[in-house]
Structure 1
C-alpha cells in the first residue's frame, strides 16, 4: 500500500542551513523508491494557518518510507533542516 510523508515548513530560522539541507537531500534518495509529488509549489489554503512550504513524497510501502526516513544519510541531512526551520513531518498510509 502506498505511503506518503508530508513535510510542512512552519517557520524559517536560517536560510543558509535550509540551502545546505536542500543541496544534500537528493543524495539520500539513491537506492530508495521515492516519488516526489509536491515540493513547495503554490498553495491555496482552504482552512487554517498556511505553512511556508509543503513537500509530499510517496513510497510503495510504509517499510520503504521508514527505511529512507530512518536512514543515516537522511538523518544527517535533517540536522541542517532542524537548524533551518521548524518543520512537521507526518507519515500517512494510502487507502
Structure 2
C-alpha cells in the first residue's frame, strides 16, 4: 500500500542551506521510489488558517518510506532543513481508490 511522508513547514529561512537541501533531496528519494505529490505551491484557504507549506512525498510502501527517512543519505542533509525551518513531519499509510469514509469505523 502506498505510504506518504508529509511535512507541514513554516518559518523557512530561504538561504544557502535550504537551497543545498533542495538540490540534494531528490537523490535520497530515488533508491526508495519516493516522488513528490505536493511541494508547497499556491493554496486557496477555504476554512481556518494555513500558515505553512505542505510537502507530501509518495513511496511504494511504508517500509520504503521508513527506510528513506532513516537512510544515511537523508540523515546527512536533514539538518539543512531542520536548522532552517520549523514544522512537523509524519509518515502515513495511504488508502486505495475504493476506500470509503466509514471504513475507519470498522
**Please, what TM-score do these two structures have when normalized by structure 2?**
0.78
Do residues 84 (structure 1) and 49 (structure 2) align? no
- The CA RMSD measured in Å over matched residues stands at 1.6
Aligned-residue offset at 1:14: 5.2
CA contact (8 A) 2:29 2:35 kept: no
Aligned-residue offset at 1:45: 2.4
Flag the structure with higher strand content: 1
**Please, what TM-score do these two structures have when normalized by structure 1?**
0.86
CA distance in 2, matches of 1:46, 1:15: 31
Larger radius of gyration: 2
In structure 2, relative to structure 1, the CA distance for the partners of 1:22 and 1:34 (3 Å cut) is same
> 1:68 aligns to what SS in structure 2?
helix
2:68 matched residue in structure 1: 68
Q: Which moved more, 1:26-35 or 1:59-68?
A: 26-35
1:50 matched residue in structure 2: 50
Number of matched residues? Answer: 95
> Tell me, which stretches of 5 or more residues in structure 1 are unaligned?
none
> Tell me, which stretches of 5 or more residues in structure 2 are unaligned?
96-106
In structure 2, relative to structure 1, the CA distance for the partners of 1:13 and 1:72 (3 Å cut) is same
> 2:33 aligns to what SS in structure 1?
coil
Aligned-residue offset at 1:5: 0.9
In structure 2, relative to structure 1, the CA distance for the partners of 1:77 and 1:48 (3 Å cut) is farther
